[in-house]
Amino acid sequence: HLFGSACSMLLVLPGGYLTVFHGPRVLAVHAVWCLLAVLTLAWLTVADSNGDVALAVSIVLTTAAVTVVLLPSLHFCYWVLRMDALVDPLTTLLNRRGLDYYVSSWFGPNEPGTICAMVVDLDRFKKVNDTYGHAAGDQVLVRVAARLRAERPPGSLVTRTGGEEFVVFARLDRDAAVDEADRLRRAIEDAEAATSAVTASIGVTVIESHSSERCLDAMLHSSDSAMYRAKQLGGNTVVLAD
């Protein structure tokens, strides 16, 4: 049983894999399995060693410390580091790296359906920075991010991809995407009307499941071009990409 307790430490190997590549639910199942294995081994040790409780307790504590306590702790630390890499620190929205990480699954072969991308760029934001300073500009970004988070379509992803630009991905058809983009535009306009007078130009791209342009980079490029056309029209408007 001493040899068995030593071998039980090998449970760390699959546990390490689950820590990095899987979520907390799978790791919790692994931890429960490890705990049951350790308790069974401890019971067998007591039964075959004439009641050597101290040996059984040492096996339980040593093995459980590694397989049940250490691995979830490592998983939490890994989660914190990953969130730090994927989240914009100012607005707490996903950043561009976070967008790539989470939306990539939307383009898989088992994920059919219509996808829309909305590129949201703030109008007259540079004037706010030049007039009131970057601290005031940061507050505008925080307020806009909060409004986008509160008003976003159900099941959508909201990200800040850089500067005063935000991106919203949602599973909406053409008409619904334009309606939602215009609703977000009005929400930003209403939120900033009394303070910065910042508005938003929004470019929208809608891709069907069979389209050859169904990839992240193509959708962002198309939405970005539509957003610049909205800027050329005077801003505070929504333009649907061709």
The pLDDT, as a whole number, for residue 36 is 77
Determine contact, residues 148/165, Cβ cutoff 8 Å.
no
pLDDT value at residue 184: 97
Domain 96-240, second-level architecture: 2-Layer Sandwich (3.30)
Distances in whole angstroms, Cα of residue 39 to Cα of each of 9, 32, 133: 14, 11, 62
Q: Block means of pLDDT (10 residues each) for the chain, length 242 residues?
A: 56 66 73 74 66 64 69 67 79 92 82 90 94 93 96 94 95 95 96 90 91 84 96 96 88
What local confidence, expressed as pLDDT, does residue 207 receive? 92
Q: Kindly report the backbone phi and psi dihedral angles of residue 95, in degrees, each rounded to the nearest multiple of 5, phi listed first.
A: -95, -170
- Confidence at residue 147, expressed as pLDDT on a 0 to 100 scale: 96
Say what the pLDDT of residue 53 is. 65
All residues at 6 or more sequence positions from 214 whose CB lies less than 8 Å from its CB, including other chains:
107, 115, 207, 208
pLDDT of residue 39: 73
Q: What's the pLDDT at 16?
A: 66
pLDDT for 93: 95
Q: What local confidence, expressed as pLDDT, does residue 107 receive? A: 85
3-state secondary structure string, 159-179? EEEECCEEEEEECCCHHHHHH
pLDDT number for residue 60: 66
Catalytic residues: 164
Sequence ranges of the domains in the chain: 2-84, 96-240
Note the pLDDT of residue 238. Answer: 97
Give the whole-angstrom CA distance, residue 27 versus residue 70.
12
The pTM of the whole model exceeds 0.75: no
Give the per-residue pLDDT at 72.
72
